[in-house]
Amino acid sequence: MTMLEQILVENRAYFHPVVPLQPGKDKLVQLHFTQENRALTEDVLGNTNKFTDYINATLEKADARFGIGGYGEYRTIYSRSEIFGSAQGQSEPRRFHLGIDIWGKPCTHVMAPLDGFVHSFAFRESFGDYGAVIILTHQLDGYSFYTLYGHLSLASIKNLQEGARIKKGEVFAEFGIPQENGSWPPHLHFQIIKDLEGMKGDYPGVCRYSEKEKYLSNCPNPDMILCLNQFLPQENN
């Protein structure tokens, strides 16, 4: 266990919820987007409306407020966008997911899990990209790290400024609609990052499988902060 992971584990009880799930009242369901999910046909993935209908139907069937999953998952869904395709000189596409996705209704509030500052933000509007994205920087027990929030609404970044203080528990963003979140069904991509490697308003949320060890060591399991998997039905744990 790395120093950051140890600090996060020791502070689990301190973090504020990132989304407004009410344990005991709201249900949570795990969603998978690997090749084993036969419902995700090319027709569904190629049409954002159909993909959104699939997510909504899955949540409704489970009587769940949110769907969750994705960390360390090798996903076939990224075939829907060229930005995850093979880069120049490389034959391997990006398919390995480095964050946790929380699927729910548009405009769902996003709250800061702990005090921080706005490191950077951007609107990455290419099909399949983050759309509106915010990166916060934090200090915890003397350790600096970042949290990334992708697929937000444009309103989330409208009057934002780098360096702005964000207090623990503050509603500072919301889930975006497909027209402003990179053309995805409404959800939040949440990721913990040790080193941004000089990037601003962006960091890979998906990597090549051959690079997974490097990125996993830089992006610990987001549930160390989210603390949501404990609320999944027992059969999903």
Host H or E run for residue 96: strand 96-97
Contact call for residues 21 and 110 (beta carbons, < 8 A): no
Handedness of CA 213, 102, 146, 22 (dihedral sign): negative
Average pLDDT, the chain: 94
pLDDT digits (tens, 9 = 90+) for 137-160: 999 999 999 999 999 999 999 999
Interval 67-94 mean pLDDT: 83
**pLDDT tens figures, 50-67:** 999 999 999 999 999 999
- Give 235's pLDDT tier (boundaries 50, 70, 90): low
Rounded to a whole number of angstroms, the distance between the first and last alpha carbons of the chain is 22
**What is the pLDDT, as a whole number, of residue 79?**
81
CATH fold, domain 3-229, is: Glucose Permease (Domain IIA) (2.70.70)
Q: What is the pTM of this model?
A: 0.95
Report the b/e string of 13-33 with b at 16+ CB within 10 A. eebebbbebeeeeebbbbbeb
